[in-house]
């Protein structure tokens, strides 16, 4: 039996990732190692979702993996109340845009951005 799934993103700059996910998207830090200095792994929580950030160096050292952050193999989706307002706030904070807010199917409004490593982040809201 499997329990407690989470996504772990590898990052070239864990401090920039912390600022993006914690300060801009509102995730809450729940774990970090090591406790002092720059972490090699950190976990965040938003509602019932856990997101981990691990350094590229730690991926290589611990798992023997050559991680390539920013490859568009996945997108992290975060729901918000107002896509246009959230998008403007993220753009004003210097977050790179991929696609501005636009209406999509299912009565949704979406926008696509990139985190500090170039991973895709999609913000979505129901249209009012």
Decide: residue 72, CB within 10 A, 0-12 exposed, 13-18 middle, 19+ buried.
exposed
Query: Per residue in 29-42, pLDDT tens?
Result: 999 999 999 999 99
Cα separation, 118 vs 56, in Å, equals 14
Q: Which domains does the chain have, with CATH numbers?
A: 1-69 (3.10.180.10), 70-128 (3.10.180.10)
Query: Per residue in 49-86, pLDDT tens?
Result: 999 999 999 988 888 888 888 887 788 999 999 999 99
* 7-30 mean pLDDT: 96
């Amino acid at each position: 039996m499997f329990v407690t799934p989470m996504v772990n993103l590898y990052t070239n700059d864990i401090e920039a990732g912390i600022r993006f996910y914690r300060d801009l998207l509102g995730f809450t830090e729940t774990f970090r190692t090591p406790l002092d200095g720059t972490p090699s792994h950190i976990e965040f929580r938003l509602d019932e979702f856990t997101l981990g950030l691990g350094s590229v160096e730690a991926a290589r050292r611990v798992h023997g993996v050559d991680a390539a952050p920013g490859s568009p193999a996945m997108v992290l989706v975060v729901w918000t109340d107002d896509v246009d307002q959230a998008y403007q706030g993220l753009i004003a904070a210097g977050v790179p845009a991929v696609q501005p807010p636009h209406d999509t199917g299912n009565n949704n409004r979406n926008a696509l951005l990139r985190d500090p490593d170039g991973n895709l982040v999609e913000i979505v809201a129901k249209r009012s």
